[in-house]
């Protein structure tokens, strides 16, 4: 767990009081727990990196901590959740190459992978706490079999079980599942809260670089931390170089540019989808800046521009397209963002995306 000046970066270490922002969501959950009116199934939804996992751990502590889960609580409940050793908390996330959540482990029999018998967690009463908490990360990636199993569990849950679905794309969740869960929406942090978070996370970082990362993160604390670790201040230069190359040479450079962008997504991490989406975030910021260049005066543009250090190249790119084309290009990137979990060939996705982007660009 990384800490600077009291700052907490590990989601497992958070309580309600240590999470910056999301006041409405925290107030709703805190009041529901205090009044013993917490729904047995919740969907916490919002963009990737918004703080859904941190809120899920904070909620689990609030449900079971005898002291009310104050910041840095040292009770057994909070300590075990922080260390990942709680017997009454189960955190499920995609582990397959396809990035899907499957039914494996949820039914007894030969299909249990590596001895994972998740169904035992649901079928047994709490061993240490008052209630058990079951969390699904990327719940929108459930296959149909698991979604139908979960639907039955939500309809007839054990009295001791709280089910929490963490979702980046709310509309992708099965409608019958959505209708039986209480939604908790997390919105991007406003600029003031994001700057507060960034300062606490990296007080010694160059202010100009910190401001660039704040703009790139678009109000998502987790995205800020990921970019800081990934050295996105150098990665966004790679994106700028790639788009400059594509602007100068057009379709003849398509495969080279796609390969250059794909290298940013290469990772040994289990979930390569998040890494790929980080590349798309940087690409979307480039197109967004090009659009801002067409609608803002110079001073205002430089205040909001992410790629201000390569402003001349960006302005040249902007001049090659009209505003309508840039808006279309933004939509293409968002579409690629949506279907990224279903695609294993990231280079092909980028080639297809660049083909569509190229068609929107026209010489003036």
Same domain for 149 and 35, yes or no, is yes
Q: What angle do CA 200, 205, 207 make, to 5 degrees?
A: 95
Q: Is residue 41 located within the same domain as residue 160?
A: yes
Tell me if 334 is assigned to some domain. Answer: yes
Do 248 and 150 share a structural domain?
Answer: no
Mean pLDDT (whole number) for 57-81: 94
Q: Is the pLDDT at 7 greater than 90, yes or no?
A: no
DSSP helix/strand/coil, 210: helix
Last residue of a domain, one of 153, 185, 217: 185
Lowest-pLDDT range of 4-8, 140-144, 265-269, 326-330: 265-269
Residue that is last in its domain, among 154, 185, 216: 185
Residue 306 near residue 215, CB atoms below 8 Å: yes
Looking at 185, 217, 251, the residue that finishes a domain is 185
Instruction: Please indicate, yes or no, if residue 203 is contained in any of the structural domains.
Output: no
Residues 33 and 168 both lie in one domain? yes
Report H helices in the chain: 23-34, 52-64, 76-83, 118-123, 144-155, 175-178, 191-201, 207-217, 221-230, 232-249, 254-265, 272-295, 298-304, 311-319, 323-339, 346-360
Number of domains in the chain: 2
Assess contact for 26 and 16: CB atoms under 8 A: yes
Same-domain check for residues 17 and 154: yes
Contact criterion met (CB below 8 Å) for 203 and 5: yes
Give the pLDDT band of residue 304 (cuts 50, 70, 90). confident
> Would you say residue 344 lies in a domain?
yes
Domain annotation covers residue 204: no
Same domain, 79 and 171: yes
Least confident piece of the model among 110-114, 189-193, 225-229: 110-114
Domain that includes residue 74, residue range: 11-185
**HEC string for 57-73:** HHHHHHHHCCCCCCCCC
In a domain, 211, yes or no: no
Say what the pTM is.
Answer: 0.79
Q: Which residues contact 110 (CB under 8 A, 6 or more apart)?
A: none
Mean pLDDT across 305-309: 80
Domain match, 68 and 144 both: yes
Q: According to the model, what pLDDT value does residue 1 have?
A: 36
pLDDT of residue 139: 93
What span, in angstroms and rounded, lies between the C-alpha atoms of 127 and 130? Answer: 8
- Compute the distance between CA of residue 100 and CA of residue 117 in angstroms, rounded to an integer: 18
Is the pLDDT assigned to residue 4 strictly greater than 60?
no
Domain annotation covers residue 325: yes
pLDDT on residue 231 = 56
Give yes or no for residue 241 having a pLDDT over 50.
Answer: yes
Whether residue 248 sits in one domain with residue 102:
no
Summarize pLDDT for 132-184 with one digit per residue, the tens: 999 999 999 898 889 999 999 999 999 999 999 999 889 889 899 999 999 99
Specify the pLDDT at position 272. 66
Which tokens hold the place of 249? 């040479």
Query: What mean pLDDT do residues 17-37 have?
Result: 95
Measured at the CA of 45, the angle between CA 175 and CA 339, to 5 degrees, comes to 70
- CB–CB of 117/148 below 8 Å? no
Domain co-membership, 181 together with 240:
no
Please determine, for residue 228, whether its predicted confidence score (pLDDT) is greater than 80.
no
Clarify whether residues 154 and 282 are in a common domain. no
- Distance from C-alpha of 89 to C-alpha of 85, rounded to nearest angstrom: 8
pLDDT: is 229 or 202 the higher one? 202
Q: What is the pLDDT, as a whole number, of residue 265? A: 67
**Is residue 258 located within the same domain as residue 179?**
no
Q: Tell me: the pLDDT tens digits for 176-220?
A: 999 999 999 999 999 899 999 999 988 888 887 788 788 878 889
Assess if residue 37 is contained within a domain. Answer: yes
What percent of the chain has a predicted confidence (pLDDT) above 90? Answer: 38
Residue-averaged pLDDT of the chain = 85
Residue 120 lies in a domain: yes
For residue 91, name the pLDDT band (cuts at 50, 70, 90).
very high
Q: What is the pLDDT of residue 115?
A: 58
192 burial level (CB within 10 Å; 0-12, 13-18, 19+): exposed
Nearest to 337 by CA among 224, 169, 223: 169
Over residues 219-223, mean pLDDT: 88
Question: For 227-236, which contacts have Cβ atoms below 8 Å and span 24 or more sequence positions?
Answer: 227/278, 228/201, 228/202, 230/278, 232/278, 232/282, 233/209, 235/264, 235/278, 235/279, 235/282, 236/212, 236/282, 236/285, 236/306, 236/307
Give the CATH number for residue 124: 3.40.50.300
Cβ-based burial of 23 (10 A; exposed 0-12, middle 13-18, buried ≥19): exposed
Residues 267 and 346 in one domain: yes
- Angstrom CA distances, 207 to 23, 182, 218, 311, stand at 27, 40, 17, 19
Alpha-carbon distances of 76 from 58, 172, 291, rounded to whole Å: 15, 37, 52
CB 280 within 8 A of CB 261: no
Q: Give me the CATH number covering residue 350.
A: 1.20.272.10
């Amino acid at each position: 767990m990384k800490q600077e000046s009291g700052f907490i970066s590990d989601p497992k270490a958070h309580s309600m009081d240590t999470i910056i922002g999301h006041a409405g969501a925290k107030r709703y959950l805190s009041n529901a727990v205090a009044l013993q009116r917490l729904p047995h199934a919740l969907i916490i939804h919002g963009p990737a990196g918004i703080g859904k996992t941190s809120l899920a751990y904070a909620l689990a502590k609030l449900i079971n901590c005898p002291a009310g889960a104050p910041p840095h609580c040292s009770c057994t409940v909070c300590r075990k959740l922080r260390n990942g050793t709680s017997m009454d908390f189960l955190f499920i996330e995609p582990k397959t190459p396809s990035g899907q959540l499957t039914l494996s482990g949820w039914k007894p029999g030969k299909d249990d992978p590596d001895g994972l018998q998740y169904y035992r967690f649901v079928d047994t009463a709490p061993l240490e706490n008052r209630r058990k908490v079951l969390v699904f990360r990327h719940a929108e990636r459930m296959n149909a079999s698991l979604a139908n199993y979960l639907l039955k569990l939500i309809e007839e849950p054990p009295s001791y079980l709280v089910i929490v679905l963490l979702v980046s794309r709310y509309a992708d969740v099965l409608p019958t599942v959505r209708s039986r869960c209480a939604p908790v929406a997390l919105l991007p942090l406003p600029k003031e809260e994001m700057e507060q978070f960034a300062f606490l996370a990296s007080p010694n970082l160059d202010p100009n670089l910190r401001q660039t990362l704040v703009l790139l993160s678009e109000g998502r604390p987790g995205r800020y931390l990921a970019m800081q670790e990934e050295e996105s201040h150098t990665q966004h230069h790679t994106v700028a170089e790639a788009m400059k190359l594509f602007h100068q040479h057009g379709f003849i450079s398509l495969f080279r540019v796609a390969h250059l962008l794909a290298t940013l997504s290469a990772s040994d991490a289990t979930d390569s989808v998040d890494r790929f989406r980080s590349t798309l975030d940087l690409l979307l910021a480039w197109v967004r800046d090009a659009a801002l260049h067409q609608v803002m005066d110079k001073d205002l543009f430089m205040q909001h521009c992410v790629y201000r250090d390569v402003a001349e190249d960006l302005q040249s790119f902007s001049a090659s397209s009209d505003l309508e084309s840039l808006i279309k290009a933004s939509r293409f990137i968002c579409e690629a963002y949506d279907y990224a979990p279903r695609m294993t060939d990231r280079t092909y996705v980028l080639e297809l995306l660049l083909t569509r982007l190229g068609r929107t660009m026209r010489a003036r």
